[in-house]
Amino acid sequence: MKLDLAAVERMQTRQRTKKRRDDREHEEQAALIRWAEAQKCTTPELGRLVAVPNGGKRHIKVAMALKDEGVKPGYPDILLDVARAGFHGLKIEMKSGDNKTSAKQDEWLEWLASQGYCCYIAYGWIAARRLITEYLAGRPLPGLIHKEAPHAMP
């Protein structure tokens, strides 16, 4: 069997690019959680901010165990179970760079919005922080699902 070096290099480049994208999203989410932890003494509701471990690559045994425990593909990354402005709580799907949501993520966000949750897609932790602070102040940004990148936010 002949080894196609060009094909191998393309595959490795795609894997490195995806890994960097996953790492960026992880770093953005971790920064958001660090901010919330630092602020919860002045904003106790931030102590209710949690993350769902449904993204990222894992060993097959860990992935199977999480699936057995009820982790669902596409469920939002960040949850704030605090009612505000007529919503039951806040759900945020974190994205980095120019990543788009998957069909399963869109399906979950649309369903959760139909059930009375405020749902957003945040491109980076700064955007997520703003969405959370506005939500907690009782001023959620317009639209049930906010998909704008941070540079487009008012």
HSE-up of residue 5 (Cα within 13 Å, Cβ side): 0
What is the DSSP annotation of 75-104? --SEEE---BTTBS-EEEEEE-TT----HH
Q: What is the pLDDT of residues 22-52, one digit of tens each?
A: 689 899 999 999 999 999 999 999 999 999 9
Helix (H) or strand (E) holding 49, with range, is strand 49-51
Domain positions in the chain are: 29-152
Q: Which two tokens stand for residue 75?
A: 């469920």
pLDDT of residue 57: 73
pLDDT band of residue 154 (cuts 50, 70, 90) is: very low
Q: CA gyration radius for the chain?
A: 17
Could you tell me the fold of the domain covering 29-152? Trna Endonuclease; Chain: A, domain 1 (3.40.1350)
pLDDT of residue 124: 92
